[in-house]
A and B are shown apart, each in its own frame.
Chain A
Amino acid sequence: AQSVTQLGSHVSVSEGALVLLRCNYSSSVPPYLFWYVQYPNQGLQLLLKYTSAATLVKGINGFEAEFKKSETSFHLTKPSAHMSDAAEYFCAVSTGGATNKLIFGTGTLLAVQP
């Protein structure tokens, strides 16, 4: 069975500081991994996706994530936080095959302090 664990339900950083949001996955087959962002009262917006083409994945808004199979991790980073990055971030896994079903982590709420 697949699962996703996001460590830290709340993360607070200062504007300009490094953002690191942690995600660990469990999957019996090579996974597809995703990071989504949700702003208040909105749906989910795709930040980036891992599909085995490259272990370092670059996404929108300066975010990137590195797939580490040995650590079963897919942590999200951004070198310099901006006030507009304040939102909730979700890591998700899919096995692919004949389904697009996503299993989501519990989310990390990112606060950015001025």
Chain B
Amino acid sequence: KAGVTQTPRYLIKTRGQQVTLSCSPISGHRSVSWYQQTPGQGLQFLFEYFSETQRNKGNFPGRFSGRQFSNSRSEMNVSTLELGDSALYLCASSDIQGGETQYFGPGTRLLVL
């Protein structure tokens, strides 16, 4: 099976802009989670989707949003970008729910200037 894919891999934006990142899970996986990785804060959970429903959300401002489509692909959006949003955004997918192993994509590296 193909792994988790994320597009784009690299992105440069300026403050105030918005950005949309995409994630395609492993075929058959219905759960998609997003994480932000920064040198200062480490790996932090953003949100989780299962069957198109957000079932868990981390402690991030409302500028961060996401959605999941019927084919389990997911997108996350960050509006009104700030310098501190520069990070590696990782997507992970898993089979069902509850303690299942999450398989991570290569990430999208976002740089906000």
What is A's interface to B at a CB cutoff of 8 Å? Answer: 32, 34, 36, 42-46, 49, 51, 90, 92, 94-107
Bin the interface of chain B by size.
20 to 34
Out of B44, B98, B107, which one reaches A99, CB within 8 Å? B98
The minimal Cβ–Cβ distance linking A24 to chain B, given in whole angstroms, is 16
Asked if B7 is at the interface of the complex by the 8 Å CB criterion, the answer is: no
The interface residues of chain B lying within 8 Å CB-to-CB of A46 are 101-103
The interface residues of chain A lying within 8 Å CB-to-CB of B99 are 32, 51, 94-97, 100
Asked if B1 is at the interface of the complex by the 8 Å CB criterion, the answer is: no
Bound Cα distance A46, B4 (Å):
13
Asked if B21 is at the interface of the complex by the 8 Å CB criterion, the answer is: no
Out of B42, B98, B106, which one reaches A104, CB within 8 Å? B42
Contact A43 B42 (CB under 8 A): no
A31 nearest in chain B by CB position? B99
Bound Cα distance A101, B35 (Å):
10
The interface residues of chain A lying within 8 Å CB-to-CB of B35 are 102, 104
The minimal Cβ–Cβ distance linking A37 to chain B, given in whole angstroms, is 11
A-B contact pairs, 15 of them (CB 8 A): A43-B107, A46-B103, A95-B99, A98-B55, A98-B98, A100-B92, A100-B97, A100-B102, A101-B45, A101-B48, A102-B102, A104-B42, A104-B43, A106-B42, A107-B42
Asked if B31 is at the interface of the complex by the 8 Å CB criterion, the answer is: yes
The minimal Cβ–Cβ distance linking A67 to chain B, given in whole angstroms, is 14
The minimal Cβ–Cβ distance linking B44 to chain A, given in whole angstroms, is 8
The interface residues of chain A lying within 8 Å CB-to-CB of B33 are 100-102
Contact B100 A100 (CB under 8 A): yes
Asked if B66 is at the interface of the complex by the 8 Å CB criterion, the answer is: no
A48 nearest in chain B by CB position? B101
Contact A34 B101 (CB under 8 A): yes
Asked if B79 is at the interface of the complex by the 8 Å CB criterion, the answer is: no
A97-B99, A99-B97 known, 16 other contacts, Cβ within 8 Å:
A32-B99, A43-B105, A43-B107, A46-B102, A96-B98, A96-B99, A98-B55, A99-B98, A100-B33, A100-B94, A101-B56, A101-B58, A102-B102, A103-B45, A104-B42, A107-B42
